[in-house]
Each structure stands twice: as structure tokens, then as C-alpha cells.
Amino acid sequence: MRRSRNPRSCVACKRERPPREMLRVVRTPEGEATLDEAGRLSGRGAYVCPEPQCVALCLKKRLLEKSLKCEIPEAVRTRLKELAHVDEESVALAENALNDEVCSTLSLAHRAGELLIGQDRVLDAITAGQTLLVVLSCDYSETLMRSLVLKGTAPRIMTEVSRLELGRLLGLRQAQIAALPAKSGFAKKLEELLPEEGGNAVE
Ligand SMILES: [Zn+2]
């Protein structure tokens, strides 16, 4: 079977390149993700540039999981990092890029008037039956987390954003919690950027 020469786009940077210049991860018919190093495997494939930042970003944002709709085994992650020479610097750059996206999405939502800010407003809205996507700063209080869990809410944690930073972003002294209607486009974007707790984090 001849492999297509049509350009493919990278799951991380979206740039198009010939497939032979990229790393390809395939979902086999058994539903397992595997790295197609020889370029021969058939199955649904996802492509990423062999550059450290693209691989770091795609692991951090779980882009291969999203594209292939299956788990990516640890061995595949490790091999991708090896092949692309992912180092601490590229991981830090990927984290920064992700964090910038989270922050800009929140400020856009804020400017669009969709954001509920602060514990009281968010908890009241949940009690009133609103379906919200709740985000917390990394230094959230355990008491607040317990109140949310008691109300059946599973907040997303912004691992790089502190109360002070969230506050600054929203024009307040500090803020540890914000929420927006789950059906809002901004909420969908944030859901993509912030993995659920318990998902396997990529370090
Ligand atoms: Zn790329």
C-alpha cells in the first residue's frame, strides 16, 4: 500500500507538512494507540511535527487522545518525547502557551459578560440549578472545593494560575473561582484546555 503524500496538519501547531516529515500515531483496529515509526501501519492516524514544542504541547493538551479518541500509552508518550528531543524548556514553553490560552479565553468570556466571579455568586447559581463550568485557581481553598463537590460540581483547576493572577485578569484584587454557562463557547474552549481531574497528567 502506498502512503499518501498529501500534506497532513500537526495536531499541535496545525501547520501542514508532508507526512514523511512528521511523527504518526495510529489507532490500531484493536483500539490501541501506537507509534508508526516505519510508516506502514494502517488505521486512523494523527500527526505531530518532530519538534520539541509541538510534541510537548500535544502531550500537555492531550491532543492525540482527542484526535484518535483513545488513550495514549505511556510507552508511546515516552518514545515521542525521545524522538522529538523534548526537554524541560520545551515543556515550560508548552505550559506557557497553554496558560496564555486559558487566560485569554477567561478575559474574553469576562468581556462578553459571561463570567460569574467569586464563591457566593457561583455557589448561588449552582444552587439555582444552572449548569456551569467552574474553574479554580491553583491555590483554591479546600473548603470551597468541598462545597462544590457537595453540590455535585467537578471544577477544573488552572494549574498555572494563582488567585492573584486570576484577580488581575478580571480586574479584582484576587479571585479563586469563576464560572460560566456550560453551553457557552468559552466554556467548551476551557474544557478542552483544562483536563478533568483524574485524567493522566503529562509531566
Ligand atoms: Zn507542529
Q: What is the distance in A from the centroid of ligand 1 to the CA of 99?
A: 18
The CATH architecture one would assign to domain 98-193 is 2-Layer Sandwich (3.30)
pLDDT in tens, 100-125: 999 999 999 999 999 999 999 999 99
pLDDT in tens, 76-106: 999 999 999 999 999 999 988 889 999 999 9
Residue 3 has pLDDT above 60, yes or no: no
C-alpha cell at 33: 494507540
Q: What is the distance in A from the centroid of ligand 1 to the CA of 23?
A: 10
Residue 61 has pLDDT above 70, yes or no: yes
- State how far the Cα of 173 lies from the Cα of 179, in Å rounded to an integer: 18
Q: What is the distance in A from the centroid of ligand 1 to the CA of 139?
A: 32
pLDDT in tens, 182-197: 999 999 999 988 877 6
Q: What is the distance in A from the centroid of ligand 1 to the CA of 168?
A: 32
Q: What is the distance in A from the centroid of ligand 1 to the CA of 20?
A: 13
Residue 1 has pLDDT above 50, yes or no: no
Which class in CATH covers the domain with range 8-86?
A: alpha beta
Q: What is the distance in A from the centroid of ligand 1 to the CA of 7?
A: 12
Q: What is the distance in A from the centroid of ligand 1 to the CA of 52?
A: 9
Is 98-193 the same fold as 8-86?
Answer: no
Q: What is the distance in A from the centroid of ligand 1 to the CA of 200?
A: 22
Q: What is the distance in A from the centroid of ligand 1 to the CA of 196?
A: 24
- pTM of full prediction above 0.95: no
Give residue limits of the domains in the chain.
8-86, 98-193
